[in-house]
Amino acid sequence: MIPVWVQAAYLFAAVCFILALKGLSSPKTARRGNLLGAAAAVVATAAVFFERPLGNIVPILAAVGVGTVLGAVGARRVQMTQMPQLVALFNGVGGAAAAIVAVVELHGLSGTHSSAVVTAAAAAFTAVVGGVSFAGSVVTFAKLQGLMTTRPVVFPGLPVLFGAAVLAAVAIAVMTAAGPGLLPGTILAALGLLAGVLLVLPVGGADVPIVISLLNAFTGLTVAAGGYVLGNVLLLIAGTLVGASGTLLTVMMARGMGRSVLNTLFGALKGGSTLGAGTASDRPVRSATPEDVAIMLGYASRVIIVPGYGLAVAQAQHALRELADVLTDRGVEVAYAIHPVAGRMPGHMNVLLAEAQVPYEQLVEMDEINPRFKHTDVVLVVGANDVVNPAAKTTPGAPIYGMPILRADEAQQIVFMKRSMRPGFAGIENELLYDPKTTLLFGDAKETMDKLLSAVKAL
C-alpha cells in the first residue's frame, strides 16, 4: 500500500506538470513553467524512494547523481544554436529509458498467466516506440550537429525495409503480449531502433523541427505506457501530457509548413523534400552599408523584424533588441514576426528573443502579422530565408511550395542581413533577394548589427 503522503506528493507533482505545460505555452510565462516542471520532477523522483521498499539503493543514487551532473553541465554549456541538438538528445534518452524498463518488465512477466496480457502488450509497445524515439533522436542530432548530411538520405529498398521492420514489430508485439520474455522484448527494441533510423533518414531541410516534435510525442507515449506497466499513475499522467501536446504541436507545425505529417516524413521517398540543391547564385543584387540601412530605419514609421537561425548562430539577439529599443524610443513602431518553423526546433525564435528580454508584446505570430506587412515601411530580415521565400507561393516545383510564409515581399522596403548569398536551410534560391525593393547588408550578423546600432544612435 502506497503511503498517503506519497500519493499526495504524486498528486502535487501531477498538478504542477499540468500548470508547467500551461506556462510553457507562452514565452511570457515559459520560464516560470519550466521551473515549476523541474520542481515537480524533483518531488516525483524523491517520492519514489518512499513508495515501497527498494533494493540496490546505492546504484540507483549513483545513477541519479551521474544523470544530474551530466544534465546540468550539458544544459549550462550548450550554446543557443545547439539547443535543438540538446533537446533531441534529452528526448532520445527519455525514449531509451522507457524502452529499457519495458524490456526488463517483459523479462519479469515471462511465465505469467493470461491476466498479464494487457501489461505485456503495453510493455511491448513501449519497447518498440521507445527504440524509435531514441534512434530517431540520435539521427536528428547528427543532422543538426553536422555529423551527417542534412539532405534526405534515401536508398533503394528503404520503404520495403522500413515496412518490413514495422510489420515484424507488430507481429512480434502480438506474440509477446501472449508470451512475454527477455528475448522478444530485446528483439522489439532492436526493431524499434531500426525503424527509428529509417524513419528519420529521408527527412531533410526545414522538416527537422517537425520531426523533433513528433519524436517528443513518441517519447511521451512510451512514458505513459511505461507508467501503466509499472503501475505508476504519475508517469501515466506526465507521459500523456507530453504525448498529447507533442502530437498537437506536430500537427500545427505541419500545417505551418502547408504539408501533412505523412508528407513531411515520407515526401522524399517520392522525390519531394524541403531541401534543394544548396548552391549560391552569382546574380547581381543591391547591397548597402550599415549607415545606409540606419537612414532607412531612422525615417521609418513601422518596422517589422524577421528573426531566423542566422541570428542564433551569430548570437546577435541582444544587439537586435537594443536596436529595436532605440527605434521604439524614437517613435518607430517595432514588431517581431515569428514564423512557426523558424529556427531548428519548435519555438526556437521565441526562446532566443526571450533570452534577450524582448517584450512579449512585440512577438507577433505569422497569421496576425501578415496583414501588417503591406503597411510596413521596412522589414529587417536577420538570419532568416525560407520563411520569407516567395517560391512557397509562386513556384509549384519548389521544395517548400505550399508552405505559408511571412509576406515580407509586401512591405515598402526589405533589408536582408546575410553572411553570403548561400540559400537557407531548404537549399533553394530566394527570389526576394533580387526584388528591386530589397537591400542586402552583408557580414556576420553580430558585427553588422553592432555597426547598424551605432549608426542608428548617431542619427
Residues 87 and 224 in one domain: yes
- Of 176-185, 275-284, 336-345, 396-405, least confident by mean pLDDT is 275-284
**Cβ-count burial 146-162 (b if 16+ within 10 Å, e if not):** eeeebbbbeeeebeeeb
Q: What is the pLDDT of residues 204-213, one digit of tens each?
A: 766 777 888 8
Residues 266 and 294 in one domain: no
Query: Where is pLDDT greater, at 319 or 25?
Result: 319
Contacts of 61 (CB under 8 A, 6+ apart): none
Average pLDDT over residues 107-123: 79
Q: What are phi and psi of 53, to 5 degrees?
A: -60, 130
pLDDT of residue 426: 59
Q: Is the pTM of this model over 0.75?
A: yes
Q: How confident is the model at residue 190 (pLDDT cuts 50, 70, 90)?
A: very high
Instruction: Express as a percent the part of the chain with pLDDT over 70.
Output: 91
Q: For the chain, give the mean pLDDT.
A: 85
Residue 336 is inside which H or E element, if any? strand 333-338
Q: What angle do CA 58, 64, 69 make, to 5 degrees?
A: 125
Residues 137 and 206 in one domain: yes
Q: Is residue 22 part of a domain?
A: no
Q: What are phi and psi of 363, to 5 degrees?
A: -85, 120
Asked if the model's pLDDT at residue 425 lies above 80, the reply is no
Residues 376 and 418 in one domain: yes
Read off the C-alpha cell for 420: 553570403
Residues 341 and 446 in one domain: yes
Q: What is the CATH number of the domain that holds 446?
A: 3.40.50.1220
- Of 7-11, 252-256, 406-410, least confident by mean pLDDT is 252-256
pLDDT of residue 36: 93
- Of 232-241, 323-332, 415-424, least confident by mean pLDDT is 415-424
pLDDT of residue 430: 84
Closest CA to 379 of 407, 406, 413, 349: 413
Residue type (1 letter), 76: R
Q: Is residue 54 part of a domain?
A: no
Rounded Cα–Cα distance for residues 324 and 394 (Å) = 32
Instruction: Assess contact for 79 and 151: CB atoms under 8 A.
Output: no
Asked if the model's pLDDT at residue 32 lies above 70, the reply is yes
Residues 99 and 223 in one domain: yes
Q: Is residue 18 part of a domain?
A: no
Residues 314 and 440 in one domain: yes
pLDDT of residue 203: 82
Q: What is the pLDDT of residues 386-403, one digit of tens each?
A: 888 888 888 776 767 777
Q: Is residue 64 part of a domain?
A: no
Residues 233 and 344 in one domain: no
Q: What is the pLDDT of residues 82-98, one digit of tens each?
A: 778 888 899 999 999 99
Q: Is residue 421 part of a domain?
A: yes
Does 386 participate in catalysis according to the annotation? yes
pLDDT of residue 111: 65
Average pLDDT over residues 21-49: 87
Kindly give the pairing relationship between strand 378-382 and strand 302-307.
parallel
Residues 253 and 386 in one domain: no
Q: Is residue 70 part of a domain?
A: no
Read off the C-alpha cell for 199: 524513419
What is the span of the domain harbouring residue 235?
Answer: 78-270
The residue from 292, 386, 444, 450 that is catalytic is 386
Read off the C-alpha cell for 390: 516567395
Residues 225 and 371 in one domain: no
pLDDT of residue 98: 93
Q: Is residue 34 part of a domain?
A: no
Rounded Cα–Cα distance for residues 97 and 385 (Å) = 38
Asked if the model's pLDDT at residue 114 lies above 70, the reply is no
Q: What is the pLDDT of residues 353-381, one digit of tens each?
A: 887 888 888 888 888 999 999 999 999 99
Q: How confident is the model at residue 282 (pLDDT cuts 50, 70, 90)?
A: low
Closest CA to 32 of 363, 354, 358: 354
Instruction: Assess contact for 404 and 392: CB atoms under 8 A.
Output: yes
Q: Is residue 346 part of a domain?
A: yes
Neighbouring CB atoms inside 10 A of 408's CB total: 27
Number of domains in the chain: 2
Residues 113 and 226 in one domain: yes
Residues 295 and 266 in one domain: no
